[in-house]
Copies of this chain bind each other. A is one copy, B any other.
Amino acid sequence: MRKPAMTVAELDRFLEKEFPQFYHRGSGVAIEDAWFHGCRVRQAYRETFIRPGGTISGPTMMALADFTMYVAVLASIGPVPLAVTTNFNVNFLRRPAQRDLIAEAKLMKLGKRLAVGEVAICSEGHEDPVAHVTSTYSIPARHLP
């Protein structure tokens, strides 16, 4: 099993500096684990996420999935501030509970120019995913793995 390119502590430091708007103490987002080709991120429940019907909003889950994929890329190739999402496809599967969300990313391909992965998001304590994402990150030429 290959070691991750960055530990959780290194990811924390990098992201607090590079993504202060999204990744800060108040956001409720925490990287729980990271490994080569994947990671797990928790989004603490906030009442502001709620939309009509009592469900957590789709954009809350999309932002979490996009961030989780980026963390999986960083954990696999090291600090790359300029990797960008090129494609993102999400299926919303069931109504999330009013609880924390747990997102787990797995890279399916880590190529020279593109990383492709999937992210499953579950409500904490539930097994069936509330959303499933596949997405592609473009990797800047000078940061090839």
Q: Which residues of A contact B (CB under 8 A)?
A: 18-19, 21-22, 48-53, 55, 57-59, 62-63, 66-67, 81-82, 84-94, 108-109, 113-114, 116, 118, 128-129, 132, 134, 136, 138
A86–B84 Cα distance when bound, in Å, is 16
- Separation of A94 and B85 alpha carbons in the complex (Å): 11
Residue of B18, B62, B63, B128 near A88 (CB, 8 A) is: B62
Cα(A67)–Cα(B86), bound, Å: 20
Question: A38: shortest Cβ distance to chain B, in Å?
Answer: 14
Count copies of this chain in the complex.
4
Q: Is the CB of A58 within 8 A of B53?
A: no
CA distance A66 to B61 in the complex (A): 12
Query: Do B90 and A87 touch (CB < 8 A)?
Result: yes
- A19-B51, A57-B22 known; A88 vs B85 contact (CB < 8 Å): no
Question: Which single residue of chain B is at the shortest CB-CB distance from A95?
Answer: B84
Contact B53 A81 (CB under 8 A): yes
Residues of B within 8 A of A89 (CB): 87-90, 134
List of B residues within 8 angstroms of A67 by Cβ: 59
Q: List 17 A-B contacts (CB under 8 A).
A: A19-B52, A58-B66, A59-B59, A59-B62, A59-B67, A62-B63, A85-B92, A86-B114, A87-B87, A87-B89, A88-B90, A88-B92, A91-B116, A91-B134, A93-B108, A108-B129, A136-B136
